[in-house]
Amino acid sequence: MDMCGYSGVKSFAEFCLKPDNFVSISKRIAESDKKVDIQTSEVDIETPKVDIGRICKNKIPGITEKSIQHVIKMYDKYTTVGCFGRSDVTALLNLSPAMTSRLLKTLLDNHIIEPVKGLGKGKYRFSAKHND
């Protein structure tokens, strides 16, 4: 049974086609077509851009500039909501699997990325909270 209380498309269609129900549904649709007055003030919805390069420099002592560029490229691709695995990063950065694993371990150990639960082992995302 779905959220509306109907077990299938056929039973929902039968409900909609009954004359009394059809009128009721038509009336609701007509009422929802009324125009709503919406305020037109400007809202700044742009989120501040995270300086992931600076975060890496602050959290990982001795990180190379090349590694920082790799992390920036990863961040631009996956941001804080996309998840990725070792093979994704290997393909994106054109690194060997061993170097990719080393980079991911460094980022994980320094809380720049975090494991994602529920999508299988070895999936990560950028941490939403950077304590720098």
pLDDT digits (tens, 9 = 90+) for 105-115: 999 999 888 88
CA 62 to chain centre: 31
Beta bridge partners of 123: 85
Does this model's pTM top 0.75? Answer: no
Q: Domain residues of the chain, as ranges?
A: 1-34, 52-126
Q: What does the pLDDT look like over 63-72, one tens digit per residue?
A: 899 999 999 9
Q: Would you say the C-alpha torsion 38, 41, 42, 43 has a positive or negative sign?
A: negative
Fold classification of 52-126 is Arc Repressor Mutant, subunit A (1.10.10)
Q: What does the pLDDT look like over 7-65, one tens digit per residue?
A: 666 666 666 666 665 556 556 666 666 665 556 656 555 556 778 888 888 888 888 99
For the record, the structure tokens of 4 come out as 């509306």
What gap in Å lies between CA 32 and CA 56, rounded to an integer? 51
Q: Beta strand 113-115 with 123-126: parallel, antiparallel or unpaired?
A: antiparallel
